[in-house]
Structure 1
Amino acid sequence: MSSTRKLYAEDLEIKFNEYGRGYMHAQNVEGSKGFAIWPLSLSAEDCFGTKIWSLDIPKPQVWLEFEVEDIKKASEEMKRKGYKLLLDSFEEPYDQIVSRFLSPE
C-alpha cells in the first residue's frame, strides 16, 4: 500500500471507490463533492496518451475540480481567457466529462 493511500484511506478513514490502476475516488468527504487520488502516470496517460508526464509542462501537485452546468461552454471560456486545456470535454470511463488545465504558476 502506498503511503498516500495509507494516509487517506486508513489514517483519515476516507471510504474510496477504487477504479483500478491506482485511481481512487470518494464522494463522502464533508465539504466537497468529490475527492480523488491517482498516480501521476495515470494522469499523464489520461492527458497525453503516455505514462510519462510531458517534460515541457510543470508536474501537478494538486488539483481542484469544479462542477459546471455546461462543460463545453466553460471550456471555451477558459480558452478564450488564454488558458491551455490539457483535455477538452473528455469523457472518462466512468461517464464523467472533464476538461483539464494548469494554473499559471
Structure 2
Amino acid sequence: MDIKCISGFATITQNPAASASLYEGLLGLPLEKIDHYRFMDKFPGANHFGVWPLAMAAQSCFGQDEWPEGVPVPTATVEFELADAASVEAAVDELKAKGQAFVHTARTEPWGQTVARFMSPEGVLVGLSYAPWLHE
C-alpha cells in the first residue's frame, strides 16, 4: 500500500445547523451543499496526520494529563492553518466577538506552533494554527 495523502476528513454531526453555522458562518469555509451534506473538494491538503493520546491533548489544552469533566472528550482534532501568529490572535478575537467559546486562546506551544482551540458542535477539537515549519 502506498498512501499519498489524506483524501478526506469529515465531521459527523448530530446538529447540521450548528455545524454549518460554525464552518460556513464563523470560519467562512465555502461549503457546497448536496441534500444535507456540506463539503468542499480540492481543499488544500493536510500537512500532518497523527494519533494523539488524550493525555497529551489534555496537557496541551489544559496543562494537566486528565481531560476535565464538563468538557466533551474529543475523538478527533482538525487544525486550520493561518498566515502567521498574529492571524491566530486576530481570528480568536473575531470568533469570540461572534460568541465562540475557546478551550484556550492563542498561545505558542513548546514546539513553536501558535494555536488556539475550541470544541465544535460535533465534539471535534478545532485548532486555529500557525506552524512556522509549514511556511518555510
Whether the TM-score (by the shorter chain) exceeds 0.5 is: yes
- The DSSP-based 3-state class of the residue aligned with 1:66 is strand
Identity of paired residues, percent?
A: 37
Partner of 2:119: 102
- Give the Cα separation in 2 of the matches to 1:92 and 1:29: 26
Gaps of 5+ in 2: 7-44, 123-136
Partner of 1:37: 51
Partner of 1:68: 82
TM score, norm. by length of structure 2: 0.53
> Between Structure 1 and Structure 2, how many residues are aligned?
81
- Give the Cα separation in 2 of the matches to 1:86 and 1:42: 15
List 4+ stretches of structure 1 deviating above 4 A.
none
- Give the Cα separation in 1 of the matches to 2:65 and 2:47: 27
Choose the corresponding residue for 1:56, options 59, 70, 82.
70
Q: CA deviation at 1:98?
A: 0.3
Q: CA deviation at 1:33?
A: 2.0
Greater relative contact order (Cα < 8 A, sep 6+): 2
Gaps of 5+ in 1: 1-11, 15-27
- The DSSP-based 3-state class of the residue aligned with 1:64 is strand
